[in-house]
Amino acid sequence: MKYTEEEVEQMENLCRELLHMNNELNARIIAMNAKLENEEKKVKRLTNELMFISQAFTNKTYTA
């Protein structure tokens, strides 16, 4: 099957559009991953702080 010059041009434009959309999605995924990693670090830090405070109250070594 032969494609017309117009059809080839349309396919090229669609390919460029898909590549652009793919690059945009990749950038969003990278940003979301960075945010997730930061949130996971925050949860880990807060969990450690909570365990420390809980242990301090259990041992009655914490004074306000």
Model confidence over 3-53: pLDDT tens digits? 999 999 999 999 999 999 999 999 999 999 999 999 999 999 999 999 998
Confidence band of 62 (pLDDT split at 50, 70, 90): low
> How far apart, in whole angstroms, are the C-alpha atoms of residue 13 and residue 5?
12
Helix (H) or strand (E) holding 35: helix 5-58
pLDDT at 57: 81
First and final CA of the chain: distance in angstroms? 82
pLDDT at 40: 98
Confidence band of 56 (pLDDT split at 50, 70, 90): confident
At a CB cut-off of 8 Å and minimum separation 6, what does 56 contact? Answer: 62
